[in-house]
Structure 1
């Protein structure tokens, strides 16, 4: 097992004594260029592996889906950004199902039931989920408190909320619930913003766009191409809905303070970044400074990204924020943060130091490793079960390549980086698969779809079949997956799980947000390395109640309830 990642290792890598606070964000030129960096780069070795980490298995596992975004000769902004979906156990049988989102409306969204062995069956017909809107993102949560996982879908157009009735059927309750905002929705998240025990809903909105406001942009070859959002000069506001506890929501965006700033939101996570017990909201904005809404209590939020060091990069540049992920990478107990950006820009990786952020992008190796691609869906996941988090990024351009003969001028290979010792190094073969395909990738959904202890990936590509990347790494270590439930039987979103692994205390959070336009497996996964058990496992629910288990055997999915 590799040496543990800890705050001391990260401090040595960063040179914290001379480091400063910095930020994250996004800019999106029509033709990406490589900006100069004011911080030194660290050359990273390539991590060679004997065999691929993943095998593409969508067709053999019954996952037949392809996004059609309607990309035509005359580019339109909404065509280049969709690619969402959700992992959820809608029938509560212990196996992750999938809900994948269609863009043009032809064929509609699709629901795939996991048959109990990692194979899938399309059960959309009769489920009530064959919605035909121009779908963007998905969020999952038990909004009505009946123990079933419900689905929210953000659209270019009115959003949709589907109530899970527990018999494999969903009911569109959008109008009754009051959540059908008609904007350009992107990522969304259910979280308890006011600590009253039921999940509220935050929805990012991208740009105030219509056919009438579309512009003509050309790349450096003179070919028509997609315009960056800054060209429209039409940022918009996100929406926060308060759950009223009776099946309805109230729009409290203005009263909560989140309308104090406009943006071009694409990615979102709701996490307690400052450790005060209240969940905050980070929004990745495309071409504008990112937002960090600090929860003040009483359903009030204050935007503090600049003060806390995560609105721009070290050079003061607002980057093209797209996907976002938050995990405790350095094992110091608080959630760290990564935002992925445009080709020519590096990712923005921040270590959380008591609610303020230190830019670790270059010293961690992510500066040089990530800047050659346009990244969308991404996640910190322990794929090799060695106890340290790795990083996967789904890539795809937003401006056509100079190769006018390319079958897909927006396609790029995905990226897999192995974490350890405070750094991330690219894995070969690229993306962890052999061969390494190039696609126009957007959303990435992470989870253990066959319950074998290896974290898998579903990648959603524009104009190509969805990919199911099964984790086939033979050298994986031990593992434990913890399925934390609330008193109603639903995933306990917002709970914290701590595992004592040797001399380390590893912290993971129960959440379904992160990545890009997607809802994730809410179960908590621990790679154990050479260990076969967890000495102490502590679960802290959002209401502060705790449960401690000792000598917990690994190699299984463990459900824990209050």
Structure 2
């Protein structure tokens, strides 16, 4: 049976369109997921007069960029001035070392929203000062001042010519759409020379999480070119310390740099014995109250020990200093051979059947050997089983993914793009470029219940989007935690901001605890919260039930 139905055409999305980058985001503050498609086109989620489909996407009359302008490489949606209206960050990769690159003088930009789907350029915002090779970005309130900040992932200074990289950039938000570069004072600048603990590394993905449960959002960077990842511990005073090696986030324990027998390549130096990491899906998948992660990594069979593979990292918690335990075989995968590839570029967590346990979605692409969208279902015993075929999930060469409940039926849907990278002509014809919107039928048909909570921070206390907030619920003894995240990996990968929980057969959450991302670490607690309900919560107020 097909338990994920592709309704893209039915709801008005294009049947042929570039779709390597896409994301859900509420662009007009109506509570429904809109879509940013291929970094330029805005599609608004609107009601219809029928039950099927109940929602339809309508293209905005004007794209993000004017005709002829170079489109951005990265787009983030967030409320940068806490006025309740979504704003945009547009990041442009400026590769001045590439002789084929024509510098049009366009740089990063901030566009402030008007609440109706229109945007106006914010001049002298402070983000336009950088001509660097941005690959990704995330929104985070690192200093808990109630304003969203930007963390930008930059890559090589000269791709293919040097291992040197630009520094990643931390830009502190002023709360009005302007930003201040605090990279150096935060201790994030690094040095240009390669191979050192303090060397700048080509970051292809960034995210954030409160890794050690101290209330401060830490920064995670995923490195390309088999250089080590970084976990920047937020020290709470505006500075960060790299604890990637101390926590095993940097890479696996095989640092030999050796290639398999028969592969004629020289042994790699230790600093190039890690992975080609792109995404970091962060979640408390095991329900123990701390944040774990899955690293999505491109791997080749010919790389052998010289290159890491995708990996589940289990947070060991306070008793063991929040070190990650790397579980190589927890997710059942076909082993690589010398001639096969694993193009894991994106990953995400969702409760596909609302049974109360998070499942893992992996999007693999960019290679011709059957790279597809795969889902691994987690049982209540913590075991993972591939459900791709069982769900009827057939999406070849998936590009970026984004998770959200576009039709408010209590089930997490999948927005997915497509990549033609390295595909044959025949494969490209069979699988044209277009977005897919995979409507989740599994959760409704399971009979399991859900709970959906959208947070709104209080101005002057928390950021309006509540990015960095943590919601924990209990159904009896079973605990689940969600963190509101402003970016998840490569290409500004992001999901919608709602906190969705599967409740199994429980008719209520016996307890709901919300920890806000303000300086006080304000906590609100609610008891006996009804299932199968959408709630909004403004900081300091009570849960408000949304009309069906």
TM range (shorter): 0.7 to 0.9
1:273 maps onto 2:211 in alignment: yes
* Structure 1 position 519, deviation (Å): 2.3
Q: List aligned pairs for 1:170-249, cutoff 5 A.
A: 170-173=119-122, 175-179=124-128, 181-209=130-158, 232-249=162-179
Aligned pair in 2 of structure 1 residues 127, 341: CA closer, same or farther (>3 Å)? closer
Cα distance in 2 for partners of 1:173, 1:66 equals 33
CA contact (8 A) 1:160 1:180 kept: no
Q: List aligned pairs for 1:4-403, cutoff 5 A.
A: 51-64=1-14, 68=18, 83-102=20-39, 109-116=40-47, 117-125=54-62, 132-157=69-94, 158-173=107-122, 175-179=124-128, 181-209=130-158, 232-260=162-190, 261-286=199-224, 287-316=226-255, 317-344=273-300, 346-353=309-316, 354=318, 355-366=321-332, 368=334, 373-397=342-366
From 540, 553, 557, the equivalent of 2:515 is 540
CA contact (8 A) 1:194 1:297 kept: yes
Cα distance in 1 for partners of 2:529, 2:205 equals 35
Query: Deviation string for 1:438-468 (max 9, x for gaps)?
Result: 22x3211011111111101111213510111
CA contact (8 A) 2:164 2:200 kept: no
1:561 maps onto 2:538 in alignment: yes
What SS does structure 2 have at the residue aligned with 1:559?
strand
From 433, 436, 449, the equivalent of 2:392 is 433
Aligned match of 2:406: 449
1:494 maps onto 2:468 in alignment: yes
What SS does structure 2 have at the residue aligned with 1:135?
coil
RMSD between superposed Cα atoms in Å:
2.5
Cα distance in 2 for partners of 1:267, 1:360 equals 19
Cα distance in 2 for partners of 1:64, 1:175 equals 36
Query: Deviation string for 1:390-437 (max 9, x for gaps)?
Result: 01111112xx5xxxxxxxx4762111111122222211417x435x24
Aligned pair in 2 of structure 1 residues 494, 361: CA closer, same or farther (>3 Å)? same
What SS does structure 2 have at the residue aligned with 1:479?
strand
Query: Deviation string for 1:161-194 (max 9, x for gaps)?
Result: 2211223211122643434532221221111111
Cα distance in 2 for partners of 1:278, 1:129 equals 39
Cα distance in 2 for partners of 1:356, 1:124 equals 49
Cα distance in 2 for partners of 1:338, 1:520 equals 16
What SS does structure 2 have at the residue aligned with 1:322?
strand
Query: Deviation string for 1:257-290 (max 9, x for gaps)?
Result: 1112411212211111112211110011112100
Query: Deviation string for 1:15-57 (max 9, x for gaps)?
Result: xxxxxxxxxxxxxxxxxxxxxxxxxxxxxxxxxxxx2331111
Flag as ranges the 4+ runs of structure 1 deviating above 6 A: 126-131
Aligned pair in 2 of structure 1 residues 124, 319: CA closer, same or farther (>3 Å)? farther
From 402, 426, 434, the equivalent of 1:465 is 434
What SS does structure 2 have at the residue aligned with 1:202?
strand
* Structure 1 position 127, deviation (Å): 6.9
CA contact (8 A) 2:133 2:166 kept: no
* Structure 1 position 373, deviation (Å): 2.5
Aligned match of 1:44: none
1:504 maps onto 2:442 in alignment: no
CA contact (8 A) 2:281 2:294 kept: yes
Cα distance in 2 for partners of 1:164, 1:282 equals 29
Aligned match of 1:412: 371
Count of residues in Structure 1 that have an aligned counterpart in Structure 2: 461
CA contact (8 A) 1:244 1:250 kept: yes
Aligned pair in 2 of structure 1 residues 178, 372: CA closer, same or farther (>3 Å)? closer
Aligned match of 1:549: 526
Query: Deviation string for 1:339-387 (max 9, x for gaps)?
Result: 1111345312111123533334324235657996211121011111010
Task: In structure 1, list runs of 5 or more residues that go unmatched.
Answer: 1-50, 69-81, 103-108, 216-230, 401-408
* Structure 1 position 491, deviation (Å): 2.2
Cα distance in 2 for partners of 1:310, 1:174 equals 38
Aligned pair in 2 of structure 1 residues 369, 191: CA closer, same or farther (>3 Å)? farther
Aligned pair in 2 of structure 1 residues 235, 246: CA closer, same or farther (>3 Å)? same
What SS does structure 2 have at the residue aligned with 1:306?
helix
Cα distance in 1 for partners of 2:465, 2:528 equals 23
TM-score scaled to structure 1, two decimals? 0.77
* Structure 1 position 129, deviation (Å): 8.0
* Structure 1 position 136, deviation (Å): 2.8
Task: In structure 2, list runs of 5 or more residues that go unmatched.
Answer: 48-53, 95-106, 191-198, 256-272, 301-307, 421-432, 540-548
Aligned match of 1:404: none
Aligned match of 2:265: none
CA contact (8 A) 2:154 2:168 kept: yes
What SS does structure 1 have at the residue aligned with 2:184?
helix
* Structure 1 position 328, deviation (Å): 0.6
Aligned pair in 2 of structure 1 residues 360, 126: CA closer, same or farther (>3 Å)? closer
Cα distance in 1 for partners of 2:85, 2:113 equals 6
* Structure 1 position 92, deviation (Å): 1.4
My pick for the range that moved more, 317-326 or 349-358, is 349-358
What SS does structure 1 have at the residue aligned with 2:108?
strand
Aligned pair in 2 of structure 1 residues 66, 291: CA closer, same or farther (>3 Å)? farther
Aligned pair in 2 of structure 1 residues 129, 318: CA closer, same or farther (>3 Å)? farther
